Amino acid sequence: MNLFFRKLGAGPPLIIIHGLYGSSDNWITIGRKLSEKFEVYLIDQRNHGQSPHSDEHNYNLLKNDLKEFMDQQSIEKAIIIGHSMGGKTAMFFAADYPERITSLIVVDISPISYKTTNSFQLLSHKTIMDSMCSIDFSKINNRLQLDMLLSESIPQNHVRQFLLKNIKRTKENTFSWIINISTLRKELPRIMDGLEISNFENVKSITGFPVLFIKGADSDYILEKDEQAIKMIFPFAEIVTIPNSGHWVHAEQPELFLQAIEKFIFS
């Protein structure tokens, strides 16, 4: 699959992978700052942004999309930053292609499955996707109308504003979703998947490159009990908590986020 991407700066390659409902657009500010020292690639994962849509969405496909992208761009190894679903993509990629990674930075997601251990996330995403799929765009004339409809099931304004970044106008001058929400809804159980922890027991852990996990202090995507799984798979991983930030750490605390990345990479 030919993924859409943005390329910024020059230097050692660094790839940023967005999360669910996101796109490369969400990372331009961070990408520009990092491009002062790196050749930054901001990719749109399949079914998101300007990348192609497909009927399937799982980490086996996403990790291979990343490998294909690196091969197409002649990137032998790269620093990889992945947020949320993008962090899972990066971890699945690291498990199969560790030789392609210079450093790994995982933002506010753990390697475990969220289907049972963090059921709130599954229920939350199901609510969001059900709400998005229920929209009849033939009755929508402006973004405010859409925001009001979404607010009936999604009370958090910041979540709705993030989702509304996925709106586009069609050739018929109507609105539609940019992301392939029907496939994402169908594949939500696969999106909640995690690495199989038992595969990394008995000294089968992932080593060979530095690993950093960045957690939002106000987020519940990485719980204290999850750190045991992180250390089993990535035994030398650092875990840094960014204060006064939730799941979208990079947007809520960009300066502290960049400081954590630069300290990790250059230390």
- Give the residue numbers marked as catalytic: 84, 247
Backbone angles phi, psi at 52, to 5 degrees: -60, 155
- Amino acid at residue number 22: G
Q: Which of 186, 195, 264 is nearest to 230 (CA)?
A: 195
Backbone angles phi, psi at 32, to 5 degrees: -60, -40
Assigned token pair, 66: 């990343």
Which neighbouring-strand residues pair with 104? 80, 211
Q: At what angle do helices 143-151 and 119-133 cross, to 10 degrees?
A: 140
8 A C-beta contact, residue 99 and residue 183: no
